[in-house]
Amino acid sequence: MEKAKIDWPHMHPINGVRIGAARAGIKKPGRLDVLIFEIAKGASVAGVFTQNAFCAAPVMVAKEHLSLGDIRYLLINSGNANACTGERGLIDARATCTAVGDLGGVSAPQVLPFSTGVIGEFLPVDKIIGAVPEAINALDKDGWESAARAIMTTDTCPKGASLQFEYQGKTLSVSGVAKGAGMIRPNMATMLSFVATDAVVAQSVLDTILNIAVNRSFNRITIDGDTSTNDACILIASGEAELPPIEQAEGELFEKLCDAVVVVMQQLARAIVRDGEGATKFVSIEVCGGFDSDECLKIGYSVAHSPLVKTALYASDANWGRIVAAIGYAGIRNIDVTKIKVWLDDVLVVDRGARYAGYSDDAGTAVVKRPDFTIKIELGRGRASETVWTSDLSHDYVTINAEYRT
Amino acid sequence: MEKAKIDWPHMHPINGVRIGAARAGIKKPGRLDVLIFEIAKGASVAGVFTQNAFCAAPVMVAKEHLSLGDIRYLLINSGNANACTGERGLIDARATCTAVGDLGGVSAPQVLPFSTGVIGEFLPVDKIIGAVPEAINALDKDGWESAARAIMTTDTCPKGASLQFEYQGKTLSVSGVAKGAGMIRPNMATMLSFVATDAVVAQSVLDTILNIAVNRSFNRITIDGDTSTNDACILIASGEAELPPIEQAEGELFEKLCDAVVVVMQQLARAIVRDGEGATKFVSIEVCGGFDSDECLKIGYSVAHSPLVKTALYASDANWGRIVAAIGYAGIRNIDVTKIKVWLDDVLVVDRGARYAGYSDDAGTAVVKRPDFTIKIELGRGRASETVWTSDLSHDYVTINAEYRT
């Protein structure tokens, strides 16, 4: 992966959503680190949050505010996670919401706070509040790229995705940004994503769309529960499109919108993996022929998380023995290894649980030298299938994470 | 850790056990890679094996032979794991047992085979059989150090432990060797250990002692099921001591022997962690105040396995935020984070789920700079406690594992 080449997409503006970023000097001076989303009155906002028992103060406050509805602003800072900061962390997060509410003419509970960065240090509230006027002055419907930049931590490039689709002669848009990095799992590098559409969507339907899309995107690069203290994904439906509201989780418009949100979130999720700390490869792990989805995911993650598999991929070593060992310790009951097949792209490597007679190391090596390839695992015991995405484990991963705080 | 300094202990010979090693040139010419244990008639032999679904051919054969009893030889090779080798792997493993049996005057099922090394390549049976006479000629009760050397793969030093204890005026001995390396988990670098005593022990009692000792040693550096294709631990009671047999899992002699085997296996388990691939630190993770042992272990392993914690430890960075995040995603239900305390050795870092007011980064850094320290986690919800041992994640880990096959 050529990290230097940032292929920043054209981002369709979303009527009813304006974005402004500012420099508060939270961790480093001179970089965008405070971000505000302004959301039109009448919009719907849905959110999913980390399941980590140590969820950060802003997550607690955001959940509380979201449950009250009528959200008008998002306030995001990078450089400090406001996590493991106890009671003071909650007070600090609320103080920043109050500051945005005061300037925006809304109440504090109409503002959702988000933070990403170092854990265990108190939020520099004064710096953030000091930068809020600059961010509000910068509000613009074309602020998506600065949004993507302002939320970056160890990310090496901003991540955005955007598309449009037609319905009854009208054009609808979906745009979003994300930040991630980390070795994806344990995905303790916070994942944040903010996605918006101009569609008109009832709250309960928006919740459904968000759950479907997260399960088919971000939840395929991390595991439920294995999340950082600050993870969050927000979906805004501004309601500015001139179309009737989507009131039910069915019908053509619902399906089209749901598909569009899935595509945008999958593009963002893939971008997070591609930019994994030190990553040099993008690897899809496709597990099929499983008894159920759960066992396919267990095996997919077992392979995806094995440090021995990941270091072999980094070395472009088609070390399939490490792949089968990771399948073997995934904890699936009564698995019959003599039915298992493994392919590297279209090269059959393992047949009936052992090295395929026609396999050559050269053919396998040619695949794993590619920057983007698939490990396909056939279990031969059912019809379920799942795909997870991961990266390799390189020297740079160790360097980045050994030096992050210094 | 100074890897260069090998502190090879004095190994007490075990009457009734002789050991011989030889050079078969399996992976590299000139190094010891074939090993034979000769066991006196009437000895008891107990074994525990990998739970990996892809268990290697020698593991299947060893389990089968062990169930028949009257074991007289162990045959171990390094350099090739004979794993994922299908039907031919079983034939090959049996052929090596036959060769040893023929020279030793016993039947093939009285020989247990063990292999460690590269997965997925067929065993070089001719080379191994060719080296068996040399190994048998070398049989000696003082062969423990060459035993430890012959089973090494990515290990940087041989691992041995030995002690004696008194009972009713008689001296009893326990001696053992092990090999490990790997980042401990997923512990796909095979762990092998062979321990012997001259005590007289009934088979069922020996099985009990082995289970107790493994659970308090090797199972604290790896998880049930998360094992390599070839892991095995063997305990031999030669029965040569002039004492009555231990027929029950109780009484003073049973307790003394059990304690001695635990100590030897703990020393070997710690030596494996200290020699973890690229490891520069030895870290004990002590979890106390848990509701039950299971949740203490889950949290201990969650911290021990976090790549972000391990890279921070490598950098001597007291990044306690990563420790609490790993506690938080361990998947413990209803955990109250406001009761959690974390210490680095005797330095209180986290109190009531947040940074302890009296904590200073300098105090934390001073601890994690040590080559050997303890992360202590108090959950404040019960009386259970568990300790696991782990190492850090360094650049050398990536180098070793990215280059192992080349």
Is B237 buried (19+), middle (13-18) or exposed (0-12) by CB count in 10 A?
A: buried
Question: Which of B189, B307, B321 faces A119 most closely, judged by CB atoms?
Answer: B321
Share of chain B above pLDDT 70, in %: 93
Instruction: Return the pLDDT at B224.
Output: 45
Q: Cβ distance A74 to A36 under 8 Å?
A: yes
Residue of chain A whose alpha carbon sits nearest to that of B333: A53
Instruction: Return the pLDDT at A188.
Output: 47
Question: Which of B81, B315, B325 faces A188 most closely, judged by CB atoms?
Answer: B325
User: pLDDT-based confidence at A148, cuts 50/70/90?
Assistant: very high
Residue A30 CB partners (closer than 8 Å, separation 6+)? A23
Instruction: Return the pLDDT at A22.
Output: 98
Instruction: Return the pLDDT at A224.
Output: 45
Which tens digit of pLDDT belongs to each residue from A204-217?
A: 999 999 999 998 89
Q: Provide mean pLDDT across the span A76-89.
A: 93
B326: DSSP letter: H
Which tens digit of pLDDT belongs to each residue from A282-314?
A: 899 999 999 999 999 999 988 988 877 888 888
Looking at chain A from residue 129 to 168, which residues have their Cβ under 8 Å from any Cβ of chain B?
none
Looking at chain A from residue 174 to 193, which residues have their Cβ under 8 Å from any Cβ of chain B?
182-183, 186, 188-189
Residue A355 CB partners (closer than 8 Å, separation 6+)? A320, A349, B84, B85, B86, B120, B121
Identity of the amino acid at B318 = A
- CB count in 10 Å sphere of residue A291: 16
Chain A CB contacts of B321 under 8 Å are 81, 83-84, 118-120, 229
Distance CA A282, CA A223 (A): 18
B54/A398 touch (CB, cutoff 8 Å), yes or no = no
Question: Which of B84, B331, B395 faces A354 most closely, judged by CB atoms?
Answer: B84
User: pLDDT-based confidence at A1, cuts 50/70/90?
Assistant: very low
Looking at the DSSP bridge assignments, the partners of residue A389 are: A284
Length of chain A: 406
User: pLDDT-based confidence at B402, cuts 50/70/90?
Assistant: low
A314/B398 touch (CB, cutoff 8 Å), yes or no = yes
Looking at the DSSP bridge assignments, the partners of residue A173 are: A164
Distance CA A211, CA A219 (A): 10
Chain A CB contacts of B326 under 8 Å are 186, 188
Which tens digit of pLDDT belongs to each residue from B200-238?
A: 999 999 999 999 999 889 888 864 445 788 899 999 999
Whether cis (ω within 30° of 0) applies to the bond prior to B133 is no
Chain A CB contacts of B354 under 8 Å are 84-86, 89, 120
For chain B, give the mean pLDDT: 90
A318 in contact with B, Cβ within 8 Å: no
Q: Cβ distance A209 to A258 under 8 Å?
A: yes
Q: Provide mean pLDDT across the span A268-275.
A: 88
- Domains, chain B, in order of start with CATH, read 17-273 (3.60.70.12), 282-402 (3.10.20.340)
Is A249 buried (19+), middle (13-18) or exposed (0-12) by CB count in 10 A?
A: middle
User: pLDDT-based confidence at B279, cuts 50/70/90?
Assistant: confident
B335/A53 touch (CB, cutoff 8 Å), yes or no = yes
Beta strands at B372-378 and B354-355: parallel, antiparallel or unpaired: unpaired
Residue of chain B whose alpha carbon sits nearest to that of A328: B53
User: pLDDT-based confidence at A187, cuts 50/70/90?
Assistant: very low
Element containing residue A290 per DSSP (H, E): strand A282-290
The CB-side HSE value for B217 (13 A sphere, CA atoms) comes to: 28
Looking at chain B from residue 345 to 404, which residues have their Cβ under 8 Å from any Cβ of chain A?
350, 352-355, 393-395, 397-399, 401-404
- CB count in 10 Å sphere of residue A93: 28
- pTM given for the model: 0.81
The residue among A145, A123, A110 whose CA lies nearest residue A19 is A145
Instruction: Return the pLDDT at A403.
Output: 64
Chain A CB contacts of B311 under 8 Å are 397-398, 401-402
Task: Among A51, A54, A309, A405, pick the best mutation site for testing chain B contact (most B Cβ within 10 A).
Answer: A54
Residue A371 CB partners (closer than 8 Å, separation 6+)? A1, A280, A281, A282
Which one has a higher pLDDT value, A229 or B146? B146
Looking at chain B from residue 48 to 67, which residues have their Cβ under 8 Å from any Cβ of chain A?
51-55
Task: State the sign of the Cα–Cα–Cα–Cα dihedral B352, B355, B359, B365.
Answer: positive
User: pLDDT-based confidence at A343, cuts 50/70/90?
Assistant: very high
Distance CA B143, CA B136 (A): 11
**Which one is catalytic: A116, A153, A190, A280?**
A190
The residue among A218, A310, A209 whose CA lies nearest residue A258 is A209
Length of chain B: 406
